[in-house]
Amino acid sequence: MVRIKRWLLAALVMSAGVSGFMLTKGTSHAATTDPQTFISTLKSPVTTVANQYKLYPSVMMAQAALESAWGTSTLTTTANNYFGIKGSYNGASVTMKTAEYDSNGQLYYTNANFRKYPSAKASMTDNAKLLRNGTSYNTSIYSGTWRENAATYADAANALTGTYATAPTYGSSLISIIKQYGLNTLLDASASDSSSSNSNSGSTPKPKPVVYSKATYYGASGTQTARLSGQYATYRLYNHVKGTRANITKTAWSKVAAGKNVLVYLDMRGVKKDASTGKQTTWYRIRFAKNTSAKKYWVYTKALTLPTVKYTSGTAAVKVNNTVSGSYYDHVFNSPYLAKSMGALNKLTAKSYVADKQAIKTQDGYKSTWYRIKVGKQAYWIAATETAAAPQYDAVTYSAASGTKKLSAKYSKYTLYNHVKKTHFNQKTYKWPAGSKKGTKVTVNFKGVKTAYKTTWYRIQFNGSQTNYWVDARALA
């Protein structure tokens, strides 16, 4: 945004022959025969917009008065442009003569387009957005005017000197207008917790700072995906996690290729802790194209259908094929946690690794298995595919069996399992049921032989129970 020069506003007014305009001697601000009408007319849009953007209404009113010559400038009367902002507004503009300097510092006149607003409030809002969002080269250039940073309206007014305007007296001119017409008493009461202010000292009570929620962000690698859920339209697209900073903007779903089950790409997860309730919510940064340079948006987790993952604790020796390309990760790849590559598979050179967790991921109806392996003191996730990693279990040949057997004299030396020992990740052990003793009858319903060790195992049930247990054949007579 480029603003019209401060002195040029006066030139425009005088060249237009506006009656009632004059420059007050000893100050740079303009005056009219009826500034009270100006203040009364703009009180509502100024207070509404300034409070919305956490600015001082008194400073906004003083700026509008100074920049528009109390509303008498040709730019203001023809285009509702109170701050001399160039360009167009929703395609609307007016052409006016303006003075510029060339590269040699020589003054020349040219025609320029200035924004034409439908209302005074639109002009106030446009200027408030400038103060809040700054410029392309410095987004915080006007942060000294924000109520959370400026203890008084005078601090906010002075923060405009050297930033918004180069005139060394710009801030003091605004303060002079505010004091002369008691704008801080009239307007700033609604901007703070207290309605008391001192119009003579130029100070107002410091408003309560805006407290934003905090978010912790987790980056992800590769192309990880999800789909828009059936209730996606209930939520919104944002340029940042909602409630974590000022001036967050929303984008309508109609602006993107949205629809139920539409595939989206994810590259970041955010966990937000609400500033007032402490409640944590999960957000994802998405895009609608695979290309990583595509526009990105933040959405609440319920707007997405994410892959599901079922985790199981256990133990297994996992052998890694480090001759193939691929990575190991801090989480299951494409799980709701998202995953970040922690290294290449070819770096895993040990003969085998111990896994302590197994994950079964379901995405778009397809299931895949992952193992969490220990690499030194760290734990990482690796895909359990034929080309990447496979658990090393004892081979077993199974066959049907029937009949009854009795517990042997040495039965208590052996353990009951849910699977034949060292043949399944989800290996569980059980205590012998109460009343077990030598000679107790059990029903046999399956048999397994470990081919490498030539040991026999039976699956058994105790009288009155439907629970199956696997036990070494030596526990039976």
DSSP secondary structure string, 45-91? HHHHHHHHTT--HHHHHHHHHHHHTTTTSHHHHHH--SS-BBS-BTT
Task: Using pLDDT thresholds of 50, 70 and 90, give the confidence band for residue 315.
Answer: confident
pLDDT of residue 70: 92
Q: Write the single-letter amino acid at 234.
A: T
Angle at CA 247, nearest 5°, toward 233 and 223? 55
Q: Please compute the mean of the pLDDT values over residues 207-223 and round it to a whole number.
A: 83
Instruction: Please tell me whether residue 275 adopts helix, strand or coil conformation.
Output: coil
pLDDT digits (tens, 9 = 90+) for 386-439: 556 667 778 889 999 999 999 999 999 999 999 998 888 878 899 999 999 999
Buried b (16+ CB within 10 A) or exposed e, 344-366: ebeebeeeebebebbbebebeee
Task: Using pLDDT thresholds of 50, 70 and 90, give the confidence band for residue 30.
Answer: very low
pLDDT of residue 16: 32
Q: Please compute the mean of the pLDDT values over residues 371-379 and round it to a whole number.
A: 93
Q: Please compute the mean of the pLDDT values over residues 104-132 and round it to a whole number.
A: 88
pLDDT of residue 9: 42
pLDDT of residue 195: 36
Nearest to 95 by CA among 79, 73, 106, 83: 79
pLDDT digits (tens, 9 = 90+) for 240-259: 999 998 888 999 999 999 99
Is the pLDDT score of 144 beyond 70? yes
Alpha carbon 448 to chain centroid, angstroms: 54
Is the pLDDT score of 24 beyond 80? no
Is the pLDDT score of 384 beyond 90? no
Alpha carbon 359 to chain centroid, angstroms: 27
Residue by residue, DSSP assigns 392-431 as: E---EEEEE--SEEEB-TTGGGS-EESSSTTS-SS--EEP
Q: What is the DSSP letter of 476?
A: B
